[in-house]
Homo-oligomer: A and B are copies of this chain.
């Protein structure tokens, strides 16, 4: 059975393991803090490749940042990785074929092949974490756009400049639907700069009405965003993944979305491909 040496390169951590053709993790999970320098990142990749490439047919990398349509390099800048990251020639690091895909895209492919959106033709995945990632499958293919950068969840929630988004623009879905957004909702509602996402979640557990309202506002913004995506894509399902997805009331989201769209009902699902979905998806695409 074919195997891939897979990496997940994020702003804070780099993971690496071996994935087989069926999407199963068959190696140890190695974990590193993401170095602040390009050379540091390259060294980790090279060391792991030297150690494991003999066991692998292909190198599959899920990475932060948009990846070109040839799946060879990152295009544009990615806030959380060192400058020049997009200049890395990943293929030069191995004699095996090196395949790159954006982490959210790769994870959505894993959901499509072995997870929550398996068997569907059109699906939208939202990764709700510190930020919001997006991966869209249309007619059984990943939506990549002209340069490979499609699937960015930076559509406007307001047209009149209220909240600055991490992308530099204003009021994108990301800055109303992410973990960061939930903190901002709380800061605004309580007029307290020190309140955290954790405080909100703890408050909700203790039935603190203010915190319940804050979480509800955050969830409502997610619902409003999903309505738009449902009308644009008419998807079989919308999959929610990421560390913040557990705080979403899936049933309520599905009910509210479907009561207010012009397309046919869509199913809202929690991701099931697990924490290593990015590496799994990249590997399954690379084979």
Contacts and interface: CB of A to CB of B under 8 A. Distances in A.
A159 to B, nearest CB: 4
Contacts of A136: 232
Instruction: Give the interface SS of chain A, mostly helix, strand, loop or mixed.
Output: loop
B233 A145 contact: yes
- This chain: copies in complex: 2
A148 B173 CA distance: 26
Interface string A232-266: 11111000000000000000000000001111101
Nearest to A141: B139
A146 interface: yes
Interface residues of A, number: 53
Contact of A234 (B148, B153, B157, B221): B148
Contact of A149 (B121, B173, B234): B234
A169 interface: yes
Interface in A128-169: 134, 136, 138-139, 141, 143-159, 167-169
Given A120-B146, A152-B234, A232-B232, 14 more contacts: A122-B150, A139-B139, A145-B235, A145-B263, A146-B235, A154-B231, A155-B231, A157-B159, A167-B262, A168-B260, A169-B262, A172-B228, A173-B228, A228-B228
